[in-house]
A and B are shown apart, each in its own frame.
Chain A
Amino acid sequence: MNIISANDVRFYYETEEEAGGRPLLVLDDIRLDIERGEFVALLGHNGSGKSTLAKHFNAMLLPSGGRVLVSGMDTKDEKLRYEIRRMVGMVLQNPDNQLVSTIVEEDVAFGPENLGVSPKEIRRRVDEALKTVGMLEYSDHAPHKLSGGQKQRVAIAGILAMRPDCIVLDEPTAMLDPQGRKEVLETVFRLNKEQGITVVLITHYMEEAVLADRVLVMEEGRILIQGTPREVFSRVDELRGVELDVPQPTELCHELRMQGVPLPEGILTAEECAQALSMFLEAAHVGH
């Protein structure tokens, strides 16, 4: 069953008079269904429309044309907006812009408080959410003293406390160091696999996209390529054409294939690449 459906979604930004006053088309007839429990990675260079699309998933933006349905609810229906935002939570790029309180547990309680959840239930949810993201021992700490990765995990806990069905993350690791990126990614991956929460992850890091069930590549407001990570990353030339990277092992295999070495397509990790190369090196009697 679909948790999010975008049906022919178009979106314009109104521009100022001096710029000619013509509306700027950012999303161009997007048709997309995201299934419950799916892990979708959304790629595309800056300005390709991926953040604009993501903001449609919890009614932060409303389509200029077409419809977005969240579990069957039309995002244009104002009466459903609270329920839609509870169901689809959003984590943004800058961890400093989304924590509102001076104590970690209060920050996590902010969402459920606004939903009118009873104090006893809030207590339970906050502890559970902090435990899930591995931050329970920090519940009485000040958020501004945490590392970037820890802040992002608190932000995720704040959404979990609202018992969402889906989490949309807009470049949640762009400002983090490798350790922080790993913490956040592992948390997101676990939520998806263990709790069945649908994940939409916008990222510039190809090694993060590799974890997804499905990868979507956006370009000029359209979905240009989609498929499993293996399918998408085997299209190296097209990805480069839209200014995206591919994982290094994939790129290396592609380069060697171009030179006539018949390596298989769809290699994503260093281990797979080394395995494939071993067979060819064996055949070439290198070092054995």
Chain B
Amino acid sequence: MSVIETRNLNYTYSPGTPFRRDAIKDISIKIDNGDFIGIIGHTGSGKSTLVQHLNGLLRPASGQVFLNGKDIWEHPKKIREVRFQVGLVFQYPEHQLFEETSYKDIAFGPSNMGLDADEIDARVRRAAKFVGLREELLQKSPFELSGGEKRRVAIAGVMAMQPQVLILDEPTAGLDPKGRDTILGQIKEYQQENGSTVIVVSHSMEDIARCAKKVLVMNRGRIEMFDQTPAVFSRADELGAIGLSVPAVTRIFMILRARGYDVGDNVYTVEQARDRLLPLLKKGGDA
């Protein structure tokens, strides 16, 4: 069954003013339990607007959002509970840390859920472990931490609510290559261990290729593609036309195919490229 479903979702910023802008148009998607979804699209394509509908931060102008088959706006007063079940990590979430210690910051979400102290403690420590925060950092002020560590505290704060669906809006923006790999690896591990549904919004095709099973491509507020990752990446020309680019190795394979070499497609990481090319190249060596 779909954990999240949207039907004909529309949203307009500043309606009734000269600044009126349609942010998303007619979005209907189904996301299955345990899926790992990547959302890509250029700035202004509606990615962030869409994910803010999935946990009820924005209320659709028209259309519906279903969580486990129930319309999340059926009882508007209960929307808070939806936010516990669908956790959203914003862009640059470290700007929103506010507590005296990292521990308290991570505990903020679970405390609001009305859990008892032991359960909160267990969840904070578990979440901290997932994002690789050392025990001694928990008692430090978040403002004493490095940028990458702060980001991890912020992500742990949402993980500690153990949401059924975890959404991260550009979790790797502004990090160096090592920080990027670490955070993506941790999100992947979290997803595998908990079997929860994860949605990652990113500009980086490489990041998406590395972690997502399915990719949703947004363009001008609409869904351009929504399919398995290999199927989306095989449409490089169309992606290029809407200002997105495929990973460099994917382009290498496209050039080789265009030149008539039968190297196959669906390659988007260096490892895949190497494993595909080696047998072909070795064959020549043996001949």
Question: Does B260 interact with chain A (Cβ within 8 Å)?
Answer: yes
Residues of B within 8 A of A148 (CB): 43
Nearest to A149 among chain B residues (CB) is B43
Q: How far is the CA of A45 from the CA of B249 in the complex (A)?
A: 24
Contact at A204–B176, with CB atoms within 8 Å?
yes
CB contacts (< 8 Å) of B248 on chain A: these are 207, 247-249, 269-270, 273
A64 within 8 A of B: no
A274 touches B256 (CB 8 A): yes
Please determine whether B147 and A277 come into contact, CB atoms closer than 8 angstroms: no
Inter-subunit contact B176/A45 (CB<8 Å): yes
Q: Is A93 an interface residue (CB 8 A)?
A: yes
Does B283 sit at the interface, judged by CB under 8 A? yes
A286 B262 Cβ-Cβ under 8 A: yes
- A287 touching B252, Cβ below 8 Å: no
State which of A93, A283, A286 has its C-beta within 8 Å of the C-beta of B174: A93
**B70 in the interface, Cβ–Cβ < 8 Å?**
no
Interface size of B in residues (CB-CB distance below 8 Å): 43
B126 at the interface (CB under 8 A from A): no
Please name the residue on chain B nearest to A46 by beta carbon: B176
Given A248-B248, A255-B270, check contact A243 B42 (CB 8 Å).
Answer: no
Against B, the Cβ 8 Å flags (1 = close, 0 = not) of A253-288 are 001100111000000011101100110110111111
A47 touches B274 (CB 8 A): no
Could you write out 8 A-B pairs with CB less than 8 Å apart? A93-B174, A204-B176, A256-B281, A259-B274, A280-B281, A281-B281, A286-B280, A287-B261
Q: Confirm or deny: A179 has a beta carbon within 8 angstroms of a beta carbon on chain B.
A: yes
When A and B form their complex, what is the total count of cross-chain residue pairs whose Cβ atoms lie within 8 Å?
121
Inter-chain contacts of B203 with A (CB < 8 A): 177-178
Query: Closest chain A residue to B45 by CB distance?
Result: A177
Output the nearest chain A residue to B180 by Cβ-Cβ distance.
Answer: A204
A175 / chain B contacts, CB cutoff of 8 Å? 173-174
Q: Which residues of B contact A255 (CB under 8 A)?
A: 270-271, 274
Given contacts A47-B146, A180-B43, contact A277 B177 (CB under 8 A): no
CA distance A179 to B280 in the complex (A): 36
The interface of chain A, by Cβ under 8 A from chain B, is 45-47, 93, 147-148, 171, 174-175, 177-180, 204, 207, 243-245, 247-249, 251-252, 255-256, 259-261, 269-271, 273-274, 277-278, 280-281, 283-288
Q: Which of B245, B255, B270 has the most CB of A within 10 A?
A: B270
Distance, CA A251 to CA B206, complexed state (A): 14
Q: By the criterion CB–CB under 8 Å, are B178 and A256 in contact?
A: no
A283 x B178 contact (CB < 8 A): no
The residues of B that contact A284 with a CB separation of less than 8 Å are: 280-285, 287
* A283 vs B255: C-alpha distance when bound (angstroms): 17
Q: Which residues of B contact A248 (CB under 8 A)?
A: 206, 247-249, 270
How far does the alpha carbon of A148 sit from the alpha carbon of B44 in the complex, in Å? 11
B245 touches A178 (CB 8 A): yes
Name B123-140 residues within 8 Å CB distance of A: none
Q: In the complex, which of the residues B148, B280, B287 has the most CB atoms of chain A within 10 Å of its own CB atom? A: B280
- Asked whether, in the complex, the Cβ of B287 is within 8 Å of the Cβ of A252, the reply is no
CB-CB under 8 A for A179 and B177, given A248-B247, A270-B248, A286-B262: no
Contacts of A207 in B (CB 8 A): 248
B274 / chain A contacts, CB cutoff of 8 Å: 252, 255-256, 259
Tell me which residues across on chain A come within 8 A of B114, comparing CB atoms. none
Q: In the bound complex, how far is the Cα of B282 from the Cα of A249, in angstroms?
A: 19
Whether B284 and A286, one on each chain, are in contact in the complex, defined by CB atoms closer than 8 angstroms, is yes
Cα A174 to Cα B175 in complex, Å, equals: 8
Given the interface contacts A252-B252, A286-B263, A287-B263, does A46 sit within 8 Å of B146 by beta carbon? yes
Q: Which residue, of B42, B179, B260, B277, has the highest number of chain A Cβ atoms within 10 A?
A: B277
Question: Would you call B278 an interface residue if the criterion is a C-beta within 8 Å of the partner chain's C-beta atoms?
Answer: yes
A148 CA / B92 CA spacing, docked (Å): 15
Q: Residues of A contacting B146 with CB < 8 Å?
A: 46-47
With the chains together, A252 CA to B283 CA distance in Å? 18
| Cβ-based interface call for B273 (8 A) | yes
Q: A251 — which chain B residues lie within 8 A by C-beta?
A: 270
Contacts of A287 in B (CB 8 A): 260-263
Known: A178-B245, A249-B249, A283-B284. A288 touches B174 (CB 8 A): no
CA distance A282 to B281 in the complex (A): 9
Instruction: Report the Cα distance A113→B284, complex, angstroms.
Output: 68
User: Besides A252-B270, A287-B261, 11 other CB < 8 A contacts?
Assistant: A45-B177, A46-B176, A171-B174, A177-B203, A178-B243, A204-B175, A248-B248, A252-B277, A255-B271, A274-B251, A285-B287
